[in-house]
């Protein structure tokens, strides 16, 4: 039994690129569990495969976690009592463990060259046998092996897997799992470059860092009997394994870029709220009951448990994510949302719009748009016209559609009527503006919708905007009238088509 008082869990990504949502979901679940149990969450960078190392990946991993609010108690940047937290800085520990295994007869040096191994595989294939290392150095005399090693000949260290019997372990979600030992070969634990394979690094580090629960993807299940053997051979205590299911794309294949799945920081870029993504990822593969979908971080920490993860793969429901993001936008406390909007506008509005962005103005327009957007990335184009005194009138062809098609002179006249009635309006507010404009439409015998659509384009420069009259109230009387006059003039100057 694990000591539940002492939960230490880790997220152990390989810096081979940007973290995708599957990996980050794993981090999130692990973090939630650490928080729930008052345990420690550790970030460890598994950079033992130097050929797959991608420059900048460690930063991107840390930034992704930070954006989602997943904080670590120990890690490469902040250190901690179990460091270092880069595997590449822990080489001595792996070497020591591998040598101890050789000493005790659990491992041996193998000098088979890559060519030799290829030939071995080819002849196995020709004989229709499954490819498997044939143990050719397993019984090689230890002294001879040592001499060859000392002379500088390259070698790997392999674990001598028991050839009979079976290995059983417990997975928190699936219960007991058993593998026949004869199906497993003498796998490499230390490579010729002195770096460990994942198998050895997992066992050494998760022991040294006193990890209580190893959470990782289910693709590691077939390797777990190897790990059990390693833990036992080294005399280490076995952790609790939790193998989480994969996320599937709509076609049933493992979720990937080709399904439109994104890297975490791309979701940030596109305008998702981190709270929404956290909520969405947490419930993709975990459920409290058959209906609750919305969880704050605090609530997740309260109710989440690793043992309740689904054993089955889950689909990635993009529509649900968008819906959830919209919901978070609508329900967020207004001032918090204003802060988020301001930050986004600082970033997205064209450079010619002066900075800093006016917080009070954003606060005024927030109620007009919070119901309308699903993504923050929609914001700047929707509200840009509030921030500039000069919105260019679109080309007549774009402007004049439906009733106004090919009727630029009539449209210009209608806009003149609008500016004429708005100019003397004593009390500039949305209700009054709407009232006088409706009256005018009636007098001119123009359908209100057709009449308003002209004004909308004149004032906002776009056909789709936040509610017109409220927007006009915020923009102010003088500027609205200016824009309407400008649009009327530009229409009068449009050559008749
Ligand atoms: N570095 C491994 C990977 O990225 C981590 C697996 C684990 O968490 O043990 O797949």
The domain that contains 76 carries what CATH number?
3.40.50.620
**Which H or E element spans position 93?**
helix 91-103
Q: What are phi and psi of 285, to 5 degrees?
A: 110, 5
Above 60 in pLDDT, residue 4?
no
417 and 404 within one domain: yes
CA-wise closest residue to 14 among 58, 80, 79, 60: 58
Positions marked catalytic: 257
What pLDDT does 493 receive? Answer: 86
What pLDDT does 3 receive? Answer: 46
Q: Are 82 and 210 in contact (CB under 8 A)?
A: yes
What pLDDT does 259 receive? Answer: 79
Query: What residues form DSSP beta bridges with 10?
Result: 42
Task: Give the closest residue (by CA) to ligand 1 atom 8.
Answer: 216
Task: Give the closest residue (by CA) to ligand 1 atom 9.
Answer: 216
What pLDDT does 341 receive? Answer: 96
- We report the CATH number of the domain holding residue 423 as 1.10.10.350
CA of 199 to the centre of ligand 1 (A): 10
What pLDDT does 392 receive? Answer: 83
217 and 109 within one domain: yes
CA-wise closest residue to 475 among 393, 364, 337, 382: 364
Assigned domain for 320 exists? no
96 and 240 within one domain: yes
Q: How many domains does the chain have?
A: 4
Assigned domain for 327 exists? no
Assigned domain for 325 exists? no
Assigned domain for 72 exists? yes
CA-wise closest residue to 386 among 370, 410, 366: 366
Residue 267 CA to residue 63 CA, distance in Å, equals: 12
What pLDDT does 496 receive? Answer: 56
What pLDDT does 495 receive? Answer: 67
Assigned domain for 322 exists? no
Beta strands at 240-244 and 213-217: parallel, antiparallel or unpaired: parallel
Collapse the DSSP code of 212 into the 3-class scheme (helix H, G, I; strand E, B; otherwise coil) and give the result. coil
What pLDDT does 464 receive? Answer: 83
Assigned domain for 139 exists? yes
Residue 296 CA to residue 302 CA, distance in Å, equals: 10
The residue-averaged pLDDT of 399-420 equals 91
pLDDT (tens digit per residue) in 226-248: 999 999 999 999 999 999 998 98
pLDDT (tens digit per residue) in 75-119: 999 999 999 999 999 999 999 999 999 999 999 999 999 999 999
Better-scored residue on pLDDT, 275 or 394:
275
Residue 409 CA to residue 488 CA, distance in Å, equals: 9
Local structure of residue 110 (DSSP, 8 states)? E
Residue 108 CA to residue 125 CA, distance in Å, equals: 26
The residue-averaged pLDDT of 163-170 equals 97
What pLDDT does 297 receive? Answer: 96
238 and 112 within one domain: yes
Collapse the DSSP code of 81 into the 3-class scheme (helix H, G, I; strand E, B; otherwise coil) and give the result. coil
Above 90 in pLDDT, residue 347?
yes
What pLDDT does 1 receive? Answer: 47
Q: What are phi and psi of 216, to 5 degrees?
A: -160, 175
Better-scored residue on pLDDT, 252 or 61:
61
Q: Please report, for residues 159, 191, 308, 349, the alpha-carbon distance to residue 134 in angstroms, rounded to integers and kept in the order given.
A: 13, 18, 41, 64
Above 60 in pLDDT, residue 339?
yes
Q: Greatest CA separation found in the chain?
A: 107
Assigned domain for 323 exists? no
CA-wise closest residue to 65 among 264, 283, 296, 211: 264
- We report the CATH number of the domain holding residue 184 as 3.90.800.10
118 and 18 within one domain: no
Buried b (16+ CB within 10 A) or exposed e, 244-276: bbbbbbeeeeebeeebebbbbeebbeebbbbbb
Buried b (16+ CB within 10 A) or exposed e, 57-83: bbebbbbbbebbebebebbbeeebebb
pLDDT (tens digit per residue) in 452-482: 999 999 999 988 889 999 999 999 999 999 9
Local structure of residue 162 (DSSP, 8 states)? -
The residue-averaged pLDDT of 349-359 equals 95
Domain enclosing residue 75, as ranges: 4-86+247-315
User: How many other CB atoms sit within 10 Å of the CB of residue 9?
Assistant: 27
Above 90 in pLDDT, residue 400?
no
CA angle in degrees (0–180, nearest 5) for 431-373-282? 140
Assigned domain for 273 exists? yes
112 and 71 within one domain: no
Final residue of a domain: which of 244, 260, 289?
244
296 and 234 within one domain: no
359 and 231 within one domain: no
What pLDDT does 398 receive? Answer: 81
CA atoms within 13 A on the CB side of 125: 6
The residue-averaged pLDDT of 285-314 equals 96
234 and 104 within one domain: yes
Residue 285 CA to residue 244 CA, distance in Å, equals: 9
CA of 13 to the centre of ligand 1 (A): 5
Q: How many helices (H) and strands (E) does the chain have?
A: 20, 11
The residue-averaged pLDDT of 344-372 equals 95
Q: Please report, for residues 65, 275, 276, 339, 377, the alpha-carbon distance to residue 332 in angstroms, rounded to integers and kept in the order given.
A: 22, 10, 11, 11, 17
238 and 116 within one domain: yes
Pocket of ligand 1 (CB under 6 A): 12-14, 46, 202, 216
Concatenating the DSSP letter of every residue in 127-152 gives TTPPP----TTTTS-HHHHHHHHHTT
What pLDDT does 252 receive? Answer: 83
**Strands across the sheet with 107-110, in order?**
107-110, 156-159, 188-190
483 and 450 within one domain: yes
CA-wise closest residue to 8 among 74, 79, 94: 74
Final residue of a domain: which of 283, 315, 347?
315
198 and 139 within one domain: yes
Q: How large a percentage of the chain has pLDDT more than 70?
A: 98
Start-to-end CA span in the chain (Å): 83
Final residue of a domain: which of 244, 261, 277?
244
Above 60 in pLDDT, residue 196?
yes
The residue-averaged pLDDT of 309-326 equals 93
Collapse the DSSP code of 89 into the 3-class scheme (helix H, G, I; strand E, B; otherwise coil) and give the result. helix
Atom of ligand 1 nearest to the CA of 16: 4
Query: What residues form DSSP beta bridges with 188?
Result: 158
- Two structure tokens written together for 21: 């949502």
* Band of residue 391 on the pLDDT scale cut at 50, 70, 90: confident
Residue 226 CA to residue 222 CA, distance in Å, equals: 8
| pTM assigned to the model | 0.86
* Band of residue 5 on the pLDDT scale cut at 50, 70, 90: low
């Amino acid at each position: 039994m694990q000591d539940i008082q002492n939960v230490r869990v880790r997220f152990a990504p390989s810096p081979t690129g940007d973290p995708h949502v599957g990996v980050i979901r794993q981090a999130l679940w692990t973090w939630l569990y650490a928080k729930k149990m008052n345990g420690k969450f550790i970030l460890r960078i598994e950079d033992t495969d130097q050929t797959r190392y991608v420059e900048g990946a460690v930063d991107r991993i840390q930034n992704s976690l930070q954006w989602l609010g997943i904080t670590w108690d120990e890690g490469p940047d902040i250190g901690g009592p179990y460091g270092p937290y880069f595997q590449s800085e822990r080489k001595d520990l792996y070497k020591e463990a591998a040598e101890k295994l050789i000493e005790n007869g659990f491992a041996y040096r193998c000098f088979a060259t890559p060519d030799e191994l290829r030939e071995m595989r080819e002849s196995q294939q020709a004989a229709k046998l499954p490819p498997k290392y044939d143990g050719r150095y397993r019984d090689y005399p230890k002294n001879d092996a040592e001499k060859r090693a000392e002379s500088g000949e390259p070698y790997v260290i392999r674990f001598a897997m028991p050839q009979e019997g079976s290995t059983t372990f417990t997975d928190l979600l699936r219960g007991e799992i058993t593998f026949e030992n004869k199906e497993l070969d003498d796998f490499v634990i230390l490579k010729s470059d002195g770096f460990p394979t994942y198998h050895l690094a997992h066992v050494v580090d998760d022991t040294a860092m006193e990890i209580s629960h190893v959470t990782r993807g289910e693709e590691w299940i077939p390797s777990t009997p190897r790990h059990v053997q390693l833990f036992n051979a080294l005399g280490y205590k076995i952790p609790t394994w939790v193998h989480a299911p994969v996320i599937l794309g709509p076609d049933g294949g493992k979720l990937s870029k080709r399904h439109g799945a994104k890297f975490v920081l791309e979701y940030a870029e596109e305008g998702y709220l981190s709270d929404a993504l956290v909520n969405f990822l947490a419930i993709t593969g975990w459920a409290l009951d058959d209906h609750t979908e919305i969880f704050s971080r605090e609530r997740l920490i309260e109710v989440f448990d690793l043992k309740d993860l689904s054993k089955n793969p889950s689909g990635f429901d993009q529509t649900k994510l968008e819906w959830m993001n919209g919901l978070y936008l609508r329900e967020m406390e207004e001032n918090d949302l204003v802060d988020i909007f301001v930050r986004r506008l600082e970033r997205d509005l064209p450079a010619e719009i002066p900075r800093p962005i006016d917080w009070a103005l954003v606060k005024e327009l927030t109620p007009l748009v919070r119901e309308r957007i699903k993504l923050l990335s929609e914001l700047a184009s929707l509200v840009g016209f509030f921030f500039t005194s000069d919105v260019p009138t679109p080309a007549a062809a774009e402007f004049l559609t439906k009733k106004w098609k090919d009727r630029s002179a009539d449209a210009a006249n209608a806009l003149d009527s609008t500016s004429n009635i708005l100019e003397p309006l004593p009390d500039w507010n949305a209700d009054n503006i709407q009232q006088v404009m409706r009256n005018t439409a009636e007098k001119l015998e123009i359908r209100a919708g057709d009449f308003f659509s002209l004004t909308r384009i004149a004032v906002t420069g776009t056909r789709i905007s936040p509610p017109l009259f409220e927007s006009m109230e915020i923009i102010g009387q003088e500027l609205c009238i200016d824009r309407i006059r400008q649009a009327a003039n530009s229409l009068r100057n449009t050559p008749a088509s």
